[in-house]
A and B are shown apart, each in its own frame.
Chain A
Amino acid sequence: MTNSIGEIENTDALFVIGTNTTENHPVIGTFMKKAIRNGAKLVVADPREIELANYADVYLQINPGSNVALLNAMMNVIISEDLYAKEYIENRTVNFEDMKKTILEFSVEEGARICGVEAEDIRKAARIYAEADKAGIYYAMGITQQSDGTNHVKSIANLGMLCGNVGIESGGINPLRGQNNVQGACDLGALPNVYPGYQKVANADMKAKFEKAWNVEGLSDKVGLTIPKIMDGGISGDVKFLYIMGENPMVSDPDLNHIEKAFDNFEFIVVQDIFLSETAEKADVVLPAACFAEKEGTFTNTERRIQRVRKAVNAPGEAKADWEIIDDIMRKMGYENNFNSAKDIMEEIAMVTPQYGGITYDRIEKLGLQWPCPTKDHPGTKYLHKGEFAIGKGKFTAVEYKKPAETVDAEYNLVLTTGRVLYHYHTGTMTRKVEGLNNMVSKSYVEISPLTAKEFKLEDGELVSVSSRRGKIEVNVKITKRIKDHVVFMPFHFAEAAANRLTNAALDPVTDIPEYKVCAVKIEKL
């Protein structure tokens, strides 16, 4: 998030797109509702009529994958009706004219047709967002999990800058990060192209910097493989040794049949986890890890706040903290870290990671600090791009609408979109083992609108088969008015009926994010 959670309740308008906030980020959802009670306007765009839609001034039930069409149409309204922030654009951004041209070539009516909503509603939404003093955009995987997700994100940045909403309090562009520490994992270099702090591996200065800091030679300057490419590497035989710390790709990854093939092909797999997950069952060595309540460390939340994780109880049996295990292996491989605690690791992180330069456990004892926090006396950063963009000038990018990689045809005639439910988390490794949570939602289902159900002669609760070009699963039908006609929704927490047997691994060319949010399926009676 460019801005902070605490700023939400004071905003004048919220534009919520591609996030079911009250279920996926529930406590942020409560602050959004507070903002609405304080008088903020709300625009919601989502193929499912999520809870927030109940409070929306304008609710746009858009087709999955049509975000860019909506955003461009809204920007067309804002430019045509002269509602944009001219001075801000002049002073703080570049490339506006280029984008403007693309936008004006795309009519609101065209956008409405692609999104499957009324043009007038798009106009209303655009005016609400543009006319508010401080307006924030909130989005999640509904935006990024598209085969051209990078463009969806750029398009959101365009809208934010167009109205001068970036770099102000209670405004901003706010991706809500899914897992508890996805922000921190990215910050600390769990990505194939960057060292901690987003310092590029291909940059010779960075290579030299880390060789010195780690006291090693010959770091690779070749950008590494992303998960989908790692799986391809498994199948081709290029990748032989797979090491997995606390992930469960056997449920979470797209096109599971493909993943299974890769797993059968890796020569050696090591998995560290707290339970024998579907992925651990495939491993050659499984190492027992401590869970969050059994170790020290930090997580970085979606507002970039680095907060403490503290040990409350002892780990079961001989389980160890993940960092201890890795540290042991490094020592046995001949490398000595001299880490005696998680605190020692944070000291090294602060030395090599500019954004974390001022972080120490002492400083975050009571309240976490928000990065960038470059020095020991820096107070942390509540919202980004104040006065000036981190990169100098904000750059508009002309983005054109592109169809999803897979569209419906005569055979696969429904659009499938996937997501989470309130009571579960990710692949369910933890939540499905908590009795109460599992009782609330114990098995997968497919949501279908009453009209679509009628068309396919399906009854509520009926067991059906859902198949895509990649796989087939059996689930129960759940008829609900909350979903758009001819779109179906499935949660992805359930290994035994994994939605990801169906999803498409079509990747965004820049980020390699798979297109979870759109694929074509058919439903058959059993």
Chain B
Amino acid sequence: MKKVEISINGKKIEVPSNYTILEAARENGFRIPTLCHDERLKPSGACRMCVVEVEGARSLVTSCSTPVRMGMVIKTNSDRVVNSRKTTLELLWADHNYDCLTCNKAGNCELQDLCYEYDIDPLASPYIKYSTNHVDKTNEFYIFDEDKCILCGKCVRACAELEGVGAISFSQRGHYTHISHPFEKEMLLSDCVSCGTCVSVCPTGALMEKTNNKFRNWDIDKKVTTTCTYCGVGCQLELVVHDNKVVRIDAPADSINKGITCVKGKFGYKFIDRDDRLKMPLIRKRGKLVESSWEEAYDLIVSKMKDTLENHGADSFAALSSARCTNEENYVLQKLFRGVIKTNNVDHCARL
């Protein structure tokens, strides 16, 4: 790719000629705030948070959708730029609920963070507040709260461009514009397959998972990257942990699944901490399974193993390994039966 020379905040840099201003800036360590941008999606220029000043241009340009040109002189933080971003945020805030106090997104909300950064006074908005009080809760896994939607369009684009479903779109124009499912139907009746990709990309609390878990984002203990336990695609997921409990699943964009999930991977984790999980070994006594210690259970298994081995030989054993267990576990199980018991009667339900 041909390179072009540009200058950002007085520093001369060289970047490939097919870059946007945003890409050039980020790659060279200049931070530009964005709300509607996502590397996986076509740029839309919807939110205007990313504006920068380009010498010679009459108005500010959106850096996420403007390609670099040879000799461009760019300012990412001039007064004009900062004032414009402030106005943008004030306008967004004017249409937004005041409930950061109880919003589950607080602490993980891009709008909240930017309002903080740009010193937006929540009560001194010069614009008239407009609210719809429309919250759609018909989907089993997530809600849509229209008053928190900033119309960035990421969900619309993600559903169409990443998930390939196109269940959501913009409806009406101007002040009444809103995100909607086809023909203003409830979400449940749309083509939505509840993959949760739109929920993952929403920068605010407009699209949010339904959850009983109460936790604040700043209290999260850790995020652990792992592999989905359901199908063979092997999507990479980020388990969000609070107080020894998985409270949410995020989808990192830099993975083989590109941050896309399906309903099982994104929302199918609530079996983990169910009360009816097995917690103790069980032994059948007088026809009934009753709790026992590990020692007792092991002793019983081992004595039965030795008996069977002695009286009926190795091939009277069989083991079913599992396509749900790890590689290491499958390895160890077949090693027990091949190496210690000495039978090859080991199988798993690959066929099923």
Contact = CB atoms under 8 A, between A and B. Distances in A.
Interface string B110-148: 000000000000000000000000000000110000000
A252 B305 CA distance: 26
A210 B340 CA distance: 12
Nearest to A512: B351
Interface stretch (B17-25, B168-176, B293-301): B293-301
B226 A310 contact: yes
B136 to A, nearest CB: 15
Interface residues of B, number: 104
Given A230-B318, A244-B319, A299 B326 contact: yes
Nearest to A314: B244
Contacts of B308: 240-241, 267-268
A189 B263 CA distance: 31
B26 interface: no
Contact of B338 (A34, A219, A238, A275): A219
Contacts of A434: 267-271
Contacts of B106: none
A216 B278 CA distance: 34
A302 B330 CA distance: 17
Contacts, number: 446
Contact of A185 (B289, B323, B340): B323
Given A216-B339, A224-B344, A436-B141, A316 B351 contact: no
A201 B344 contact: yes
B333 A326 contact: yes
A190 B315 CA distance: 16
Interface in B162-180: 162-164
B241 A27 contact: no
Contacts of A437: 140, 263-264, 267-268
B331 interface: yes
Contacts of A218: 342
B343 interface: yes
A249 interface: yes
A317 B339 CA distance: 31
A288 interface: yes
Interface string B216-237: 0000001011111111111110
A281 B326 contact: no
A6 B256 contact: yes
A185 B236 contact: no
A247 B348 contact: yes
Interface stretch (B31-39, B66-74, B79-87, B279-287): B279-287
- Chain A residues touching B, majority SS: mixed
A267 B328 CA distance: 28
Taking residues whose C-beta sits less than 8 angstroms from the other chain, chain A's interface range is 35 or more
B63 interface: no
Contacts of A192: 344-347
Interface string A195-225: 1100001000000001000101011101111
A316 B273 contact: yes
B320 A225 contact: no
Interface in A309-338: 309-314, 316-323, 326-330, 332-335, 337
Contacts of B312: 240
B279 A316 contact: yes
A440 B187 CA distance: 13
A417 interface: no
B324 A285 contact: no
Contacts of B57: none
Contact of B162 (A30, A179, A291): A30
21 contacts: A28-B233, A30-B164, A179-B231, A180-B324, A188-B331, A190-B348, A241-B308, A274-B278, A284-B284, A293-B224, A300-B234, A300-B327, A312-B241, A332-B302, A333-B336, A346-B327, A422-B193, A430-B271, A434-B267, A437-B263, A440-B194
Interface of B: 140-141, 162-164, 193-195, 210, 222, 224-236, 239, 241, 244-246, 256-257, 260-265, 267-274, 276-284, 289, 294, 297-302, 304-306, 308, 312, 314-340, 342-352
